[in-house]
Structure 1
Amino acid sequence: MKPERPTASSHLSPRPNLKTVHPNADTVEGLRELQRLFFSAITRPLGPDGRAGGKSAPDLETAALAARLIRPGAKQSPLDRLEIYHRQYWIRLQQAFFEDFPGLWNLLGPERFRGLIEAYLLRYPPDSPLLREVGSHLPRFLREEPDWAAPFPHRLVLDLVRFEWAKIVTFYARELPLPRKEEMTTREIRLFLQPHLVLLDLRYPVERWDPEGSSSAPAGSPIPLSPEPRQIALHRQGETVYHKLLSRESFFLLRSFRKGLSLLEACERTAEKFPDLPPERYHEWLREWSSLGWLTTRTADRSRSFGSKTA
C-alpha cells in the first residue's frame, strides 16, 4: 500500500475559461483564480506524444496560458516548464492506479488501462489531498461506463475493481474499540462492523486471481475464471489484509450489524431468512468474529471514515 502522499485536489474546480481569465495574485480571490487556472492547465488529458489535448504541437492558447502562469527559465520556455508539471501530474496518478489496481492493469493491458484512468480522472478528478483515495470512485465510474470493461464481462471487471479497492479501504481504515467479553453475552447489545471490515457480494471469484503471480499470462489476457457467486469479507490483522469466504447465512447476519441492530434483532432477522439454520451456528460465528476483531459497539462517523465513498 502506498504512503500518504498528497495530490492535487479538485476542490478548486470548476475549470476556468482559459481565454478570458487574467490571473492576479494580489488578492485572495485572485490567488484562488490563479490556482484554478494552473490546476486546469496541468489536468488536461495527455495525448499520445505526452502533450495536452492529444496535439502534436501546442496551440497558441496553451502557449499564452503558460506565459501568464510561469516565468521562463535559463534554458526552458514557460510552455516547456508547464509541460513538465502537466506530464508529472498524469504520470504520478497513473502510477498510483497501477499500484492500487494491478489486477485491472493486467486484465486490460497498458493502453486500455491508461485510457480508462484518463477518462475516469476527467469525470472524477482527485477530491482528497491523499493519493490513496484517488481511485475511490472507480467502481461507480465502471457502473456508469460499462463499455470500458469490453471485451470482458462487465461484472467481472467491476468485481475485480471492487475487490482491489476494498483491499485499500481495509488497509487504511481505522479500528474502533472492541466489545468487552461480558458485553457479548447481552442480547440487547447493539453491534456494528469495524470500519476496516468490507463485505463484498461477488459474481466472480476474483479473489483467487493473483496478477503478480500470473507471469505466464501476458497483460491484457483474460482471467481464467467463470461466474461463481460468492460472499467474502476483507479484514485487517496488524498491517496485513486478509479475505475470508462466507456462507450466505453468515454474510446476511454480518450485514444486519450495518444497521445497528441489537444482537437479538440481528439473529431473529437471520432466523426468519434461514429458518433451518442451527442455533449453535450463531454462537460459533460470534466467537470467531470477536476473535478476529470484526465487531464494535461504536458506530463509525461515515464522514470521517476512509472508504465511505466506496461503491
Structure 2
Amino acid sequence: MQLSALQQALQAYLAGASDRPPAELLEQLQGSAALGAADGLRIYHNAYRARLLAVLREDFPALQQWLGTESFEQLALAYLAAWPPRHFSLRWLGEKLPEFIAGYVAEPQLSPLRELATLEWAFTLAFDAADAEVLSAADMACLPAEDWVSLRSSLAPSVNWLQLQYNTLALWKAAKDGEPLPELIRLPDACSCLVWRHDLLCRYRSLEPDEATALRSFVGGESFSGLCAALLPHHGEQAPLQAAVWLRQWVSDGLLVRLKAGA
C-alpha cells in the first residue's frame, strides 16, 4: 500500500464511528510484544475522538450545560460524523456546528440552540480575528475640526454583530459564571449584540435600538455629519451631542477603524 493510501485509510478509520480497525489497515502495521497493532489503533482512535470532543466542549460550554453532558456528546458525535476536521488547526472544528444544529434538532429547541451556538462561536471568531489599528481616544483628540465633518469608519475585523431572538446572553453569562441557567425566554423584540476583541480580551454588549440604528448607519458609509443629520428627527438640536456621545463610546470600546478619504 502506498503511503498516501495508508494515510487515507488511517484518516478514514479515525473519523469513523467504530474503533474496530479494518483488516486492510492492520495488514500494513506491526505491533510490539507489549501492544498489538489493533489495540494501538483503538487507543489512537479513542484518544483522537476524545480530543475532538474536548475541543467542542471548550468552544461551546454553555451549549453543553444547557443540553447536559450526554445529549451534548450525542450532538457532538453526530456533528463530527457529518463534519470531520477539514483544517490543520482544531480552532476551526466547531465552525459548522450552528449550521449542523439546523438540520439535526427540531423546533422548538432548534432556534434557541442554534442562536446559543452562534453566540459562543462568535467569541472564537473574535479572539482569532485579524488585528487592526482601531480608532482611539488619542486619535480623536488629535483630529482637526474640519475632519470631523467627513469622518467615516467601519467595524473592526473582530466585531461580530448578532441579532438575538432569545435571552441568549443571560444563558451564556450564567454558564460562564457557573450558575444555574435561567428559563429560556423569547424576547419581545430582537436584541442587537456585539462580540469583539479589544486589548487582547473578548468583549460583548447589547445595543438599544436607537444606538444600533446609528451604528449601522455610521459603519455603513455615513459620515459623522450625516449621522448627526440622521438623528435630527428624534433628537432635535441634541442630535450632534448624542452622536458625539455614541461615537465616544464606540471608540472607547475599540469597535471602529477609520476609513481613508475616498475609501
With normalisation by structure 1, the TM-score equals 0.70
Alignment of 1:129-140 (within 5 A): 129-140=88-99
Q: Aligned residue for 2:118?
A: 162
What does residue range 187-206 of structure 1 map to in structure 2 within 5 Å? 187-206=149-168
1:88 correspondence with 2:47: yes
**Equivalences for 1:35-184 in 2 at 5 Å?**
35-45=7-17, 51-52=18-19, 58=20, 62-147=21-106, 153-179=109-135, 180-181=139-140, 182=143
Q: What is residue 211 of structure 1 aligned with on the other side? A: 175
Matched residue SS, 2:27: helix
Any stretches of 5+ residues in structure 1 without a counterpart? 1-22, 26-30, 46-50, 53-57, 300-311
Identity among equivalent pairs (%): 25
> Given residue 154 of structure 2, which amino acid in structure 1 is its aligned partner?
F
Q: Report if aligned partners of 1:250, 1:285 keep a CA contact under 8 Å in 2.
A: yes
Give the distance between the partners of 1:92 and 1:66, measured in 2 at CA: 22
For 1:296, which of 239, 257, 261 is the aligned residue? 257
1:297 offset after TM fit, Å?
2.9
Cα distance in structure 1, aligned partners of 2:205 and 2:176: 20
Amino acid at match of 2:11: F
**Separation in 1, partners of 2:218, 2:94:** 27
Distance 1:95 1:223 in 2: 25
Pair 1:104–1:267, CA change in 2 (3 A): same
Cα distance 1:67–1:194, how it changes in 2: closer, same or farther (>3 A)? Answer: same
- Tell me, yes or no, if the aligned pair for 2:218 and 2:227 is still in contact at 8 Å: no
Q: CA deviation at 1:133?
A: 1.8
TM-score (norm 2): 0.81
**In proportion to residue count, which structure has more strand?**
2
Matched, 1:285 2:246: yes
User: Which residue of the other structure, out of 203, 224, 227, is the alignment partner of 1:267?
Assistant: 227
1:24 corresponds to which residue? 2
Q: Does 1:276 align with 2:234?
A: yes
Paired with 1:73 and 1:296, the residues of 2 have a C-alpha distance of 59
Quote the offset at 1:266 in angstroms: 6.9
Aligned to 1:237: 198
Q: 1:239 to 1:73 in 2, by over 3 A?
A: same
Q: Structure 1 residue 283: deviation in Å? A: 1.7
- Write out per-residue CA displacement over residues 207-245 of structure 1, whole angstroms, 9 at most, x where no aligned residue: 123225445x4xxxx741311231111233333322212
Structure 2's unaligned 5+ residue stretches are none
1:227 and 2:186 aligned? yes
How far did 1:192 drift? Answer: 1.4
Runs (4 or more) in structure 1 with deviation over 6 Å come to none
Larger relative helix fraction: 2
* 2:121 maps to amino acid: W
- Does the residue aligned with 2:166 lie in a helix, a strand or coil? coil
Contact 1:169 1:196 in 2 (8 A): yes
Distance change >3 Å, CA 183–CA 140, structure 1 → 2:
farther
CA distance in 2, matches of 1:247, 1:287: 16
Note if 1:34 corresponds to 2:6: yes
Q: Does the 8 Å contact 1:193/1:295 carry over to 2?
A: yes
Indicate whether 1:246 and 2:202 are aligned.
Answer: no
Q: What is the root-mean-square deviation of aligned Cα atoms in Å?
A: 2.8
Shift of 1:258: 5.7
